[in-house]
Amino acid sequence: MTINHNKSNVVHFRPNSTPRTINSFKCGDLDINVVEKYTYLGLVLTEHLDYQIMAKHVATSANRALGLVISKYKSFGGLPFDSFTKLYDSIVWSTISYGAAVWGDRTFSCINLIQNKAIRFYMGIGRYKPNVAVNGDSAWKPPCVRQWRTVINHWNRLRYMNTDRLNKRIHNWAENSFRRYKACKNSNYRLYQQFESCNISDWYNDTNIHKTTVLAKIEDKLLTDFKNKWTEDLHRVSARRMDGGGNKIRTYRTFKTEIRCELYLKTLLSPAQRRAYSQFRLEILIGTCT
């Protein structure tokens, strides 16, 4: 068997405070380089396990997938909202959810950006229009909720896994580490914290609790938090940006009170008609009276 040493690398996974190994690695007579990151099965693994870099790499792939959905939309001259949503879920979200069991217990702006970009395109509005209106009118589940579904599915698989499997042994090691050392805040710690925030910490090690029950509790908590933040942003006096400008959706909030998919998105309109309707609702169109 011949090894391609140019495509084989070593990554020394460690905390930021630990220096990179000075050891040399060989495969036969060939030297294997020690690198800072490595792409394995489509996921970028860095030496300090920086999930931000991993999520950005996933977002780049998802953005290309979204471009494919947009090109199909344009080639058909438009699509119904449910069909566009189905395409997004099957092509774009499947790209995002791949590997989300590893990094999905955190919220990343680059991942949220992909979903907002898709909805904005369908509505026909620009990139700088408020996310409050985008999320309020489309009622798509926020990415954080969908990510946690992947995380819980992985957790459920691990808790029933045979103890001689390497995955299970690493899981048990991570479990013992965060319980023994207060400074250890690994993925098992973040998972347990989520259980605690949902008041179901006693379910964490209970193999009699079905994963659907756990998912329902966590999704309910995340959706409630999302709706509360949405309501807070809707009624803000000033914008979140640094210059402290006024809230651009002062009129929008007079008739929009809850997150739900609006009828104009599900109605069969041409892209131009939908864009005009969206812009009118979001106070983008400016008319003059003479």
pLDDT digits (tens, 9 = 90+) for 19-74: 999 999 988 888 888 999 988 888 899 999 899 999 999 999 999 999 999 999 99
Residue 132, burial from CB neighbour count under 10 angstroms (0-12, 13-18, 19+): buried
> 207-217 burial, b for 16+ CB within 10 Å, e for fewer?
eebeeeebbeb
**What amino acid occupies position 21?**
T
Phi-psi region of 102 (alpha: psi -120 to 50; beta: other; left: phi over 0): alpha
pLDDT digits (tens, 9 = 90+) for 227-247: 999 999 888 877 665 555 567
Residue 51 near residue 103 (C-beta atoms within 8 A): yes
Query: Which pLDDT score is estimated for 245?
Result: 59
The reported pTM is 0.85
Distance of alpha carbon 256 from alpha carbon 249, whole angstroms: 10
Query: Which pLDDT score is estimated for 8?
Result: 86
The strand pair at 37-40 and 30-35 is best described as unpaired
DSSP symbols for 180-195: H-TT---HHHHHHHHH
Distance of alpha carbon 161 from alpha carbon 62, whole angstroms: 31
DSSP structural state of residue 88: I
Q: Mean pLDDT, consecutive 10-residue segments, the chain of 290 residues?
A: 80 90 87 89 89 93 96 93 96 93 92 95 88 92 94 93 93 91 88 94 90 95 95 80 65 89 92 90 57
Q: Quote the radius of gyration of the chain (alpha carbons, Å).
A: 23
Residue 264 near residue 138 (C-beta atoms within 8 A): no
Nearest to 248 by CA among 290, 275, 286: 286
Q: Is 196 strand, coil or helix?
A: helix
Tokens 């079905």, residue? 210
Nearest to 11 by CA among 42, 40, 41: 40
Distance of alpha carbon 143 from alpha carbon 223, whole angstroms: 11
